[in-house]
């Protein structure tokens, strides 16, 4: 009898645990639904006034009642993409060094620095980018870069300091700790057999990492990169300081631009009426972009997971 009572007690406990866990899961769904509902509701004035044509218009002049979101969407995607192109390879390289090569003492020190960089407030990055990075780029990086690539549209024009190029580099530095830390944890989780098997066959460290470790951890590494991309797309204060906040469809990285988040932060305190509703609509667009980035991340990880893993086979 005592045995069966224990079973019933365990069954009841499991039922309660499952119910509580379900409530927590539903709570997350309710939060997301509430955010979407409020953004949709508060942006109704702008949607009714201008329709979804704001997505294809780049003209933004509240005085003339011109409200286009395309330049802000464009600026968000360009800065985030350039940032992840810089931070992705460097972050994975840092993780590979920490896991595969670095001595334990160096590993601890660099690991601490990476985690420390992740904890720095974004506004500090923005101030540093404006007062330190922008002058450095203007004096030492942009002149030789334009000397070699100035004939291309991407690197033409006058460098103003607060530009898309500066904002992208600051974003890359900001998301670098995220990519490096997550990639490091993923690479550490690769079974030791993957490495030892390749080394036993006479492979070098690079061959072992390239053919056994990285393919095995590819799903997690891609997840780290997409996580960094999502943060770059939604970053606000640092970008507001150093992008110039000029809504236009730029062709040069040395031009000034604006992102969805920077426009909201810069205009929201003084906005009202249609302008306020339009800024809330920009928030809704940014929210949707973030969701789409996460969906794309899951699709990429799923596609990569179907590819046979590297490693040692009998």
Burial 265-284 (b: 16+ CB within 10 A, else e): bbbeeebeebbbbbbbbbbb
Residue 307 has pLDDT above 90, yes or no: no
Q: With contact defined as beta carbons under 8 Å apart, do 300 and 222 qualify?
A: yes
Q: Which two three-digit tokens encode residue 262? A: 């920077």
Q: How far is CA 19 from the centre of its chain?
A: 34
| Cα separations in angstroms, 305 against 158, 188, 210, 223, 293 | 45, 18, 17, 12, 18
- Assign domain 53-305 to its CATH superfamily: MetI-like (1.10.3720.10)
- Alpha carbons 198 and 218: distance in angstroms, whole number: 17
Higher pLDDT, 275 or 195: 275
- Alpha carbons 51 and 69: distance in angstroms, whole number: 12
What percent of the chain has pLDDT above 90? Answer: 37
The separation between the first and the last C-alpha atoms of the chain, rounded to the nearest angstrom, is 52
- Share the mean pLDDT of the chain: 86
The mean-pLDDT minimum among 9-13, 169-173, 214-218 falls in 9-13
Residue 308 has pLDDT above 70, yes or no: no
Q: With contact defined as beta carbons under 8 Å apart, do 173 and 114 qualify?
A: no
pTM of the model: 0.86
Residue 309 has pLDDT above 80, yes or no: no
Task: Kindly list the domain boundaries of the chain, sorted by start residue.
Answer: 1-42, 53-305
List pLDDT tens digits, range 71-118. 999 999 999 999 999 999 999 999 999 988 888 888 889 888 988 888
């Amino acid at each position: 009898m005592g045995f069966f009572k224990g079973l019933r007690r365990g069954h009841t406990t499991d039922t309660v645990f499952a119910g509580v866990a379900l409530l927590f899961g539903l709570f997350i769904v309710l939060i997301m639904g509430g955010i979407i509902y409020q953004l949709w509701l508060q942006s109704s004035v702008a949607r009714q006034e201008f329709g979804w044509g704001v997505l294809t218009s780049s003209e933004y002049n509240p005085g003339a009642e011109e409200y286009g979101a395309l330049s802000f969407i464009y600026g968000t995607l360009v800065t985030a993409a350039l940032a992840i192109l810089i931070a992705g390879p460097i972050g994975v390289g840092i993780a590979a060094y920490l896991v595969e090569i670095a001595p334990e003492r160096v590993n601890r020190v660099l690991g601490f620095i990476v985690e420390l960089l992740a904890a720095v407030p974004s506004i500090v990055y923005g101030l540093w980018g404006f007062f330190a990075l922008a002058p450095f780029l203007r004096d030492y990086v942009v002149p030789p870069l334009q000397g070699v690539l100035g004939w291309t549209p991407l690197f033409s024009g006058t460098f103003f300091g607060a530009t898309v190029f500066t904002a992208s580099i600051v974003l890359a530095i900001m998301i670098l700790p995220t990519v490096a830390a997550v990639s490091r944890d993923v690479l550490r989780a690769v079974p030791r057999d993957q490495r030892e098997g390749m080394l036993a066959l006479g492979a070098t460290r690079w061959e072992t990492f390239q053919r056994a470790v990285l393919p095995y951890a590819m799903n997690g590494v891609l997840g780290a990169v997409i996580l960094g991309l999502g943060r770059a797309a939604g970053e606000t204060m640092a970008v507001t300081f150093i992008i110039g906040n000029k809504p236009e469809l730029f062709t040069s990285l040395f031009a000034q631009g604006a992102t969805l988040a920077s426009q909201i932060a810069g205009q929201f305190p003084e906005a009202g009426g249609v302008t306020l509703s339009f800024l809330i609509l920009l928030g809704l667009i940014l929210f949707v972009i973030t969701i789409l980035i996460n969906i794309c991340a899951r699709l990429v990880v799923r596609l990569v997971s179907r590819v046979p893993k590297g490693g040692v086979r009998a």
